[in-house]
Every structure is written in structure tokens, then in C-alpha cells.
Amino acid sequence: MSASLGVLRQKLVACGRQVTPARVAIYDYLNSVTDHPRAEAVFMAVRRKLPRVSLGTIYRNLEVLVECGAASRLPCADGSARYELRTDRHHHVACPKCGQVADLGESEDLVLLRQLETGEGFKVFDYQLQFIGFCGECRGR
């Protein structure tokens, strides 16, 4: 068993889920890419390994992976969601023209979080920050 499959198995078992061929194929695909694919792109890639898999199965299993902490979902401004295996706190930049999404480094600036927690009484348990801007290729078009 590969190290990544061991991590997947551990996370699924911890939240009471089973390891299935679809979940393994989705996890393997997300582990092999550096972009942040939509469910449809995951479906097209996984279908090469599992020809009978449905788009609904992909959506359901992506959500299981997110629920178990094996993947994360990035809601995008266009209403779609992107997926990745990286689950640590990090920021993204997205191009509204071509749809490219890229990771940004970690941010140590938690001043806004502290202000929310003390001034407004919120207890923040998670956050996502996404910058929207044109990528180098789209800026030149």
C-alpha cells in the first residue's frame, strides 16, 4: 500500500467511511495534479480508470473526501467548486477569464481574525481567502 493510500484509508476509517475504488481513483487523481480541478475534470480523469463511474458518484465521493479531511473544496466566484488534497490553511488566486486557480503561500497575518473574534464575538473555526485577478496569459490577450 502506498503512503498516500494509507493516509486516505486512515482518514476514511476515522470518519466511519469505507475505502472504495472510486474514492481511491479520485484521491489518486487529485494527488497527481497541481491545479484545482472541478468535479467534471475529476470525472473525465477517473472515468479512464473506472469507465462505469457516474458524475453523481464523483460529486458524492468528493464530498466524502472533504468531510473526512482528505481533500478540500474551494468555492469559486463563478459558483463552481474546485478540489485539492491540500487541506492546510492557504490562500488562492483565481483568474475569472480562463478559470485558472493557483495556491498562494501561507499568511501569518491573523489581525483580521483576532479583530473578528474580539470585536464581533465570532469564534472562527475555518476560513478561505481567494484573490481574483487576471493571470499573465489572460492579461496579455
Sorting pLDDT into bands at 50, 70 and 90, what band is 48?
A: very high
Name the pTM for this structure: 0.79
Query: Which residue from 51, 35, 22 is spatially nearest to 85, judged by alpha carbons?
Result: 35
For residue 131, the SS3 value is strand
Assign a CATH topology to domain 91-139: Dna Ligase; domain 1 (3.30.1490)
Which listed CATH number (1.10.8.10, 1.10.10.10, 2.70.98.10, 2.20.25.90) goes with 3-84? Answer: 1.10.10.10
In the chain, CATH 3.30.1490.190 sits at 91-139
pLDDT digits (tens, 9 = 90+) for 59-74: 999 999 999 999 999 8
In the chain, CATH 1.10.10.10 sits at 3-84
Mean pLDDT of 16-36: 95
Pick the more confident residue, 112 or 37: 37
pLDDT digits (tens, 9 = 90+) for 87-137: 877 778 888 888 888 887 665 556 666 777 776 677 777 777 778 888 888
Q: How many helices (H) and strands (E) does the chain have?
A: 6, 5
